[in-house]
Amino acid sequence: MSSIAVKSDFLDPEISAASRERIASLQLENLRETLKHCYKNNIFYKKRIDDSGLDPDRIKDLSEIEKLPFTSKEDLRRNYPFGLFCTPLSEVVRVHSSSGTTGNPTVVGYTGQDLDMWAHVLGRIMYDVGVRRDDIVQVSHGFGMFTGGFGFQFAAEKLGALVVPISGGNTERQLKIMSDFKSTVLCCTPSYTLHMAEVGEKLGIDFAKLHLRFGFLGAEPWTEPMRREIERRMHMIALNSYGLSEVIGPGVSCECLARSGLHINDDHFLTEIIDPETGKTLPAGTKGELVFTSLTKKAFPVLRYRTKDISYIYEDDCACGKTFIKMARPLGRSDDMLIIRGVNVFPSQIEEVLMKVEDLEPHYLIVLTKENYMDKIEVWVEVSEGVFHEKLMDLEAFEKSIESKLYSAIGIHIKVSLKEPRTIARSEGKAQRVLDKRQERN
């Protein structure tokens, strides 16, 4: 059997709890296979490997991968749609594409074996936290070109659970099904989960009486206070799930029940952290951009793919027993980083502050404008029901107190504008947190 073959059982203790040395040797073996596969089957990668002087058969250490240049989203776009595939199209059985949050979509492909691997690594994550055959998994991610829906569908199905492929949207129906079918697991974005909580509460649904056990929530940045809010309102354990279509989709990494970082599926994805400015590899524990190399994919392998996602990686002695390395909750993408008067700000840092203020709702929008050629940042945030009218007299004082909290946490003045409940648009997928009006003419 080739080393690229994937086992199909869900308990992989001999891998997920193996020593780091064992995992590194497996990674090295599969890295060689992947490089040979790319070299043989794709002209773009062949040239890159030739230019780097790397001989796949002679690689002795994982760090030698640093000789290879990075693959960027631009490389994917330039080779649109199938130029970076490494198998003939006759072997590709599915394509997906990124949701195009930051530009033109990029296309990724899977062979049957790739799909098996994907279902396996994501199913394994779900199994490890306790999802079993008798669970009812409601998949509220979009189905279609986005990887979220199908990713969870096949993983949960492979695990033997009953899957409800409801997709995103139609919130009242989501809630009816959640209640009637007694869904125990929810796969969704955190922002849409909160929207479900809000609509459900309005309809008089008592989430404590529903059957939700776990939420696998991701596809967008979110914060620890947001998790507490979701857990309190939905009565389930909310786990942070991370992935991107270029690497596979959901299943790249996810939290275990220890909820202290996301274990990366280390035997399939080699992770590096780089300085986004210089491209230099950074040591574990240092914040930078995540870079992934797939180790077992056939149709669309990636070599040193720059994600633009900001995080850091580390090893720890996790209570769950897994030895897979961890990544910290992603702060956001470097593209989403706002530079306001020289200070770098991620929307998630603003969220972190807002979510800790009592009487605010977890719905906000960051609005950027230009005034006298200067960037101005303002955040609109909803106050809780009742508070708006109750506090009408001193809304301004309330705004000022939030502004000073933001100032002490972030170091710049951000104007706060309190809004009435339910006036900021809700998301049924990935939330749009920033409205950039700087280019608009007045």
The footprint of Zn ion (CB under 5 A) covers 256, 258, 318, 320, 322
- Burial of 154 from C-beta contacts in 10 A (0-12 / 13-18 / 19+): buried
Q: Minimal distance in Å, beta carbon 292 to Zn ion?
A: 20
Between residues 18 and 125, which has the closer beta carbon with respect to ligand ADP? 125
Cβ–Cβ under 8 Å, residues 248 and 235: no
Q: Minimal distance in Å, beta carbon 318 to Zn ion?
A: 3
Q: CB under 5 to 8 A by kind: which of Zn ion, ligand ADP, none does 283 bind? A: none
Q: CB under 5 to 8 A by kind: which of ligand ADP, Zn ion, none does 289 bind? A: none
Q: CB under 5 to 8 A by kind: which of Zn ion, ligand ADP, none does 114 bind? A: none
Q: CB under 5 to 8 A by kind: which of Zn ion, ligand ADP, none does 242 bind? A: ligand ADP
Between residues 12 and 309, which has the closer beta carbon with respect to ligand ADP? 309
- Burial of 271 from C-beta contacts in 10 A (0-12 / 13-18 / 19+): buried
Q: Using CB under 6 A as the criterion, which residues of the chain lie in contact with ligand ADP when the complex forms?
A: 98-101, 146, 218-221, 240-245, 307, 309, 330, 333
Q: CB under 5 to 8 A by kind: which of Zn ion, ligand ADP, none does 256 bind? A: Zn ion
Q: Minimal distance in Å, beta carbon 320 to Zn ion?
A: 3
What is the strand order of the sheet 415-419 is part of? 415-419, 374-383, 360-371, 434-436
Q: Minimal distance in Å, beta carbon 165 to ligand ADP?
A: 18
Between residues 39 and 242, which has the closer beta carbon with respect to ligand ADP? 242
* Nearest-10 Cα torsion for 20, 24, 26, 30: 150
Region for residue 426 given its phi and psi (left: phi exceeds 0; alpha: psi -120 to 50; beta: otherwise): beta
Q: Minimal distance in Å, beta carbon 326 to Zn ion?
A: 8
Q: Minimal distance in Å, beta carbon 220 to ligand ADP?
A: 5
Cβ–Cβ under 8 Å, residues 257 and 240: no
Q: CB under 5 to 8 A by kind: which of Zn ion, ligand ADP, none does 258 bind? A: Zn ion
HSE toward the beta carbon, residue 81, CA cutoff 13 A: 9
How far apart are the C-alpha atoms of 9 and 276, rounded to whole Å?
38
Between residues 315 and 420, which has the closer beta carbon with respect to Zn ion? 315
Dihedral angle sign, alpha carbons of residues 117, 123, 124, 125: positive
Between residues 244 and 410, which has the closer beta carbon with respect to ligand ADP? 244
Element (H, E) at 398: helix 395-410
Q: Minimal distance in Å, beta carbon 264 to ligand ADP?
A: 12
Between residues 239 and 256, which has the closer beta carbon with respect to Zn ion? 256
Q: Minimal distance in Å, beta carbon 334 to ligand ADP?
A: 10
Q: CB under 5 to 8 A by kind: which of ligand ADP, Zn ion, none does 330 bind? A: ligand ADP
Q: CB under 5 to 8 A by kind: which of ligand ADP, Zn ion, none does 167 bind? A: none
Structure tokens at 250: 């959901």
Residues 6+ apart with CB under 8 A from 372: none
What DSSP line would sit under 351-390, residue for residue?
A: HHHHTTSTTEEEEEEEEEEEETTEEEEEEEEEEPTTHHHH
Between residues 110 and 242, which has the closer beta carbon with respect to ligand ADP? 242
Between residues 39 and 106, which has the closer beta carbon with respect to ligand ADP? 106
**196, 263, 270: which is closest to 235 by C-alpha?**
196
